[in-house]
């Protein structure tokens, strides 16, 4: 598992998380946007491979790499969410956030 730099993972939700908006540092946002831009390029590459009748196994390999990259972004988001919004809501006495988190983790594990 990738080690996340704690300086780029938000530790608190500025203004609270109950408004259901994320509060990521500029560095974290930049990191995620860079990763998503790369993933977008990978998707375009896969499309091009299919259009060029590239060997199926090679296309599948690229799809697998793209899925891994998306999972990496999801892990970063999940870590930040747990360290900020979830902790804050529990501290405020909102235990329902645990059920919400479990549903989110189940969604991630389906993949």
Contact 110, 38 (CB under 8 A): no
Share of the chain above pLDDT 70, in %: 81
The whole-angstrom separation of Cα 38 and Cα 52 is: 21
The shares of helix, strand and coil residues in the chain, as percent rounded to the nearest 5, are: 70, 0, 30
pLDDT digits (tens, 9 = 90+) for 62-91: 999 999 999 999 999 999 899 988 999 999
Closest CA relative to residue 20, chosen from 76, 107, 94, 74: 94
Helices then strands, counting H and E runs in the chain, come out as 4, 0
pTM of the model: 0.74
As assigned by CATH, the class of the 26-109 domain is: mainly alpha
> Domain limits of the chain?
26-109
């Amino acid at each position: 598992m990738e080690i996340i730099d704690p300086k780029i993972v938000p530790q608190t939700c500025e203004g609270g998380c109950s408004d259901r908006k994320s509060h990521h540092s500029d560095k974290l946002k930049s990191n995620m946007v860079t990763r998503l831009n790369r993933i977008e390029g990978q998707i375009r590459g896969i499309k091009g491979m299919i259009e060029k009748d590239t060997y199926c196994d090679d296309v599948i390999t690229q799809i697998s790499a793209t899925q891994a990259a998306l999972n990496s972004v999801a892990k970063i988001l999940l870590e930040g969410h747990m360290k900020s919004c979830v902790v804050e809501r529990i501290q405020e006495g909102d235990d329902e956030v645990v059920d919400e988190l479990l549903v989110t983790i189940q969604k991630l594990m389906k993949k």
